[in-house]
């Protein structure tokens, strides 16, 4: 809900790389792995099937953060939901 969730880890495996993740609560368990792996991580809720959460503008996020890696992490229960417009 409080986006963006960001981390900065100088001792990460890839300290010069930025990862952007669009995620839901499944990302909670993965966050330590993200921050251990990438120097900078930025996480936003994807908004699929999540009432009250507007999907983020991916183009705007890309131009703001310039990530080298982008992940879309979705829990299985949202797979039947319509994609946001």
Smallest Cα–Cα separation from 36: which of 59, 52, 19? 19
- The pTM assigned to this predicted structure is 0.87
Helix, strand, coil % over all residues of the chain, rounded to 5 = 25, 30, 40
pLDDT in tens, 15-68: 999 999 999 888 889 999 999 999 999 999 988 887 777 889 999 999 999 999
User: How confident is the model at residue 85, as a pLDDT?
Assistant: 62
């Amino acid at each position: 809900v409080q986006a963006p969730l960001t981390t900065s880890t100088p001792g990460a495996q890839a300290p010069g790389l930025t990862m952007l993740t669009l995620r839901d609560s499944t990302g909670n368990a993965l966050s330590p792995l993200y921050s251990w792996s990438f120097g900078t991580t930025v996480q936003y809720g994807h908004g699929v099937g999540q009432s009250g959460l507007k999907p983020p503008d991916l183009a705007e996020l890309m131009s703001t953060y310039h990530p080298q890696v982008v992940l879309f992490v979705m829990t299985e229960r949202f797979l039947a939901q319509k994609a946001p417009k």
